[in-house]
Amino acid sequence: MTAGTLTRVVGALAEATGLGGVALHELVRVGDAALLGEVLRVSGDVATLQVFEETTGLRVGEPVVREQLPLAIELGPGLLGQVIDGIGRPLGRLAVLSGTFIQPGAAPPTLDRDARFAFEPARAVGDLVEAGDVLGTVADRGGFPFKLLVPPGRSGIVRHVRAGDVGLLDPVVTLDAGDPITLLQRWPVRRPRPAGARVAADRPFLTGQRIFDFLFPVAEGGTVAVPGGFGTGKTVIEQALAKFGDADVVVYVGCGERGNEMAEVLHEFARLVDPRAGRSVMDRTVLVVNTSNMPVAARESSVYVGLTVAEFFRDMGYRVAVMADSLSRWAEALREVGSRLQEMPGEEGYPTSLASRAAKLHERAGRVRCLGRPERHGSITLISAVSPPGGDFSEPVTQACLRVTSALWALDAALAHQRQFPAVDWSTSYSLDAQAMVEYLDQQVEPRWSAARARALDLLQRDAELREVASVVGPDALEDKDRLLLAAAAALREFVLGQSAFDPNDAFSPPAKTFVLAEAALALFERGAAALAAGRSFADLPIDAVRRALAGLRDAAADGLDESRKAVHEALAALSAPGVAEGGDA
């Protein structure tokens, strides 16, 4: 390996000479401690490096050694359930090797070399295979079917197949050309993995969160920006989506977040049971952790590591959800590195390439026809939290994301202060996929889904206008029909749009339950309006009884839904019945 000499150190950046024909983004080992670094710029004989580890103690004159490889991540069985840092190191094994604090230069492999797997071949000797073809499967964590694929760029005739007990580095399939194919593969994180073709989204990414599934559904393979100021619940939403989102695999990227938040994620995921599969959520999850006290350079790479892992499972034909929390910290890392490189700053000091780099990042999401046979489709749905300073959505990172995402779930600090969670501003949020996804829900869940959604949006709009009037004259000065509208909209906001992430019976809401709640809240207004037209007064309407029934349905466990639905129907029947006063019998 070619060795150079360290000539300058500035924070996470260093300069070295004598590295010969070093390439851009090539890995290097910096200093006597062999810290991992990456080449950012080459000017003559001087290479500028970003170091992924703490640089305290580095001295001018220490050696810099070329790795002659780009930053890559190990991919293979055993990846599910892993907790890795921004450069792919397993934090669990790092803790065993070096204790609570990571020792400089520590570099254990991502995947456990001692692990053994039972390989079931899907190809026989003499078969002609191409890139992306499924060669066989192994049972990964929790029985998850891991598919061994022919690596991109490889093809040939199968000359040897090894079935049964194999290790990560054992030759499993040998072709007539090239090295044997093993369970372990490496892929450069900054280079997107190839796919056969992009295909149109045909179904929504169901989240189990009523406000998203009902009002702002996003397509499977879509991209979502979730901006919000401090305390608006971005991290809680990302965690809820990771726990309950309808995906085969979840990749959660904690990019520059506080350590206590990531500790909470680790604690919650370890004991949470997937409501669909009945097993631990960690059996289908990969956590990429880069907290705010870790080196800023690794923060920038952590998002690419997460997307590469997601593409690996997408190529097997799985639906993958990527939660990036947050892209503002990723952009801040770009700004910090750019300033140390003395690049020309753009708006608010961010690099002028921010918009294009954000676009390239989001382009790695989508639904695709995978390479190889049998034909299969996979998808990556990217949901990115953004932390605009002061909740200002006009700042550069939010605007760069909004240009390339298909949905905006805007969080409002005022709603959070009112204890309305998720604190989603329904007047600002939108989904470009809504029309197509609502048509799917009409066909697959409930034929009246789109009509109920349109009625709910109309009710919320009228409520916003009326509350402005009520704030001036007072609600008691309004006509009965207007007071009814305010009461029905309040029920819609509380029992449909509001949802507790910590109540085990309410944290996940299947589409059928979401629709029943929404339809009941709308019926409160429509049946009440009919009762008023028939001569009843607002004071005579059993509004509180309907609200109690809605609260019971919202909080009901799965085995109590039928009884709660019956209570809602009885309360609504009392609302329509003539002459029944508040608290009377239906």
**Which two structure tokens, joined as six digits, stand for 214?**
């009902």
CATH 3.40.50.300 residue window(s) in the chain: 197-432
CATH architecture of the domain covering 114-183 = Beta Barrel (2.40)
CATH 1.10.1140.10 residue window(s) in the chain: 449-576
CATH number for the 449-576 domain, one of 2.40.33.10, 1.10.1740.10, 1.10.1140.10, 1.20.1250.20? 1.10.1140.10
Mean pLDDT of 265-276: 76
Confidence (pLDDT) at 162: 95
Helix (H, G, I), strand (E, B) or coil at 555: helix
pLDDT > 50? residue 582: no
Helix (H, G, I), strand (E, B) or coil at 403: coil
Please state, in angstroms and rounded to a whole number, the distance separating the CA atoms of residues 514 and 452: 11
**Which two structure tokens, joined as six digits, stand for 316?**
């097997």
**Which two structure tokens, joined as six digits, stand for 259?**
């350590």
Looking at residue 496, what DSSP letter applies?
Answer: I
Q: What percent of the chain has pLDDT over 90?
A: 69
Strands (E) located in 463-523: none
Confidence (pLDDT) at 58: 92
Please state, in angstroms and rounded to a whole number, the distance separating the CA atoms of residues 89 and 68: 19
Question: What's the pLDDT tens digit per position in 474-518?
Answer: 888 889 999 999 999 999 999 999 999 888 889 999 999 999 999
Contact 372, 415 (CB under 8 A): no
Query: How many CB atoms neighbour CB 157 within 10 A?
Result: 13
Its pTM stands at: 0.93
Mean pLDDT of 286-304: 86
| Local confidence band at 267 (pLDDT 50, 70, 90 cut-offs) | confident
pLDDT > 50? residue 586: no
Amino acid symbol at 139: A
Confidence (pLDDT) at 1: 59
Order of strands across the sheet that contains 164-167? 145-149, 134-139, 116-121, 164-167
Confidence (pLDDT) at 444: 94
Fold of the domain built from segment(s) 3-71: Elongation Factor Tu (Ef-tu); domain 3 (2.40.30)
Q: Which CATH class is domain 197-432?
A: alpha beta
Instruction: Please name the residue ranges forming H helices in 189-289.
Output: 210-214, 234-244, 259-271
Least confident range of 314-328, 398-412, 544-558, 570-584: 570-584
Q: Are strands 46-51 and 35-43 parallel, antiparallel or unpaired?
A: antiparallel
Query: How many CB atoms neighbour CB 168 within 10 A?
Result: 21
Confidence (pLDDT) at 583: 39
Confidence (pLDDT) at 54: 86
Amino acid symbol at 470: A
Please state, in angstroms and rounded to a whole number, the distance separating the CA atoms of residues 14 and 56: 12
Question: What's the pLDDT tens digit per position in 357-397?
Answer: 999 999 999 999 999 999 999 999 999 999 999 889 999 99
Contact 55, 11 (CB under 8 A): yes
Confidence (pLDDT) at 577: 67
What's the helix, strand, coil split of the chain in %, to 5?
A: 40, 25, 40
Confidence (pLDDT) at 297: 79
Mean pLDDT of 5-26: 91
CATH 2.40.30.20 residue window(s) in the chain: 3-71
